Amino acid sequence: MSLDTLHGLSHLAQFGIFGVPVFVVLAILYRFARYESWVWRTSRILMGLSAAAMVLAVLGAIGDGLFSAKIVARKPSCQSNMKQLALGLLMYSKDWNEYFPSAASWANGISKYQVVENYFHCPSADSRFSYALNRAVGGRSVNDISDRAVTVLIFEMDANDRNAVGDEHTRRPKRHMGANNMAFTDGHSKSMNDYSTAKVRWTP
């Protein structure tokens, strides 16, 4: 079942839930109405419709749960991708006197360090490429970065090129249920909400 289908089902619960009180009222009318009267016939028809609405409510609740579960499951996959990219950048720096690759071709520079094409795409992204290098660290020495654990290395951004670069003004906000992933110049990656993102450093 596709993510769009699950998302659509999740909206059905909003409408289907109204079928419960309607069904109760109609059941009472049906029970006490005179047999074959217009009230009896109308109640019978509307009871069928409200029962269908309740079925939709159940399907919507299931769809909402599955939709949320799929979104949550994609976050660690994205974090893993960013971790691999960060490790590739650090391996590059070890071979080049502690310098990160140029911002213009950083992805090309780390391709030989077991970095495959799939690492450049977040499962929750619509764009072909999902990450960008922090422009401020491109071509810079690792030794010049004073606080590597909070200095952004890779962040999420909708891009058309795997060598994408940017800064805090170009990052893709809230791709993962109100949060985004980031990788840092010490090699770790983590999920970041607005509060934690405000504490990171973009300039070494």
* Terminal CA-CA length for the chain: 45
Across 121-148, average pLDDT: 94
| Residues 122, 174 within the same domain | yes
Q: Can you say whether the dihedral through the CA atoms of 128, 203, 191, 88 is positive or negative?
A: positive
Q: Which helix (H) or strand (E) holds 71?
A: helix 38-95
| Residues 31, 45 within the same domain | yes
Please check the confidence at residue 137 and state whether its pLDDT lies above 90. Answer: yes
Taking the C-alpha atoms of 132, 136, 142 and 147 in order, what is their torsion angle to the nearest 10 degrees? -100
> Tell me, what's the pLDDT at 66?
38
| Residues 60, 95 within the same domain | no
Across 70-99, average pLDDT: 85
| Contact of 137 with 100, CB cutoff 8 Å | yes
Please check the confidence at residue 129 and state whether its pLDDT lies above 60. Answer: yes
| Contact of 204 with 140, CB cutoff 8 Å | yes
Range of the domain at 31: 3-68
| Residues 109, 135 within the same domain | yes
Asked if residue 203 is part of any domain, the answer here is no
Please tell me the distance from the alpha carbon of residue 116 to that of residue 133, in angstroms, as a whole number: 16
pTM of the model: 0.66
| Residues 89, 56 within the same domain | no
> What whole-number percentage of the chain has pLDDT above 70?
63
Asked if residue 90 is part of any domain, the answer here is yes
**What strand order describes the sheet that includes 165-166?**
165-166, 129-134, 152-159, 180-184, 189-192
> Tell me, what's the pLDDT at 1?
45
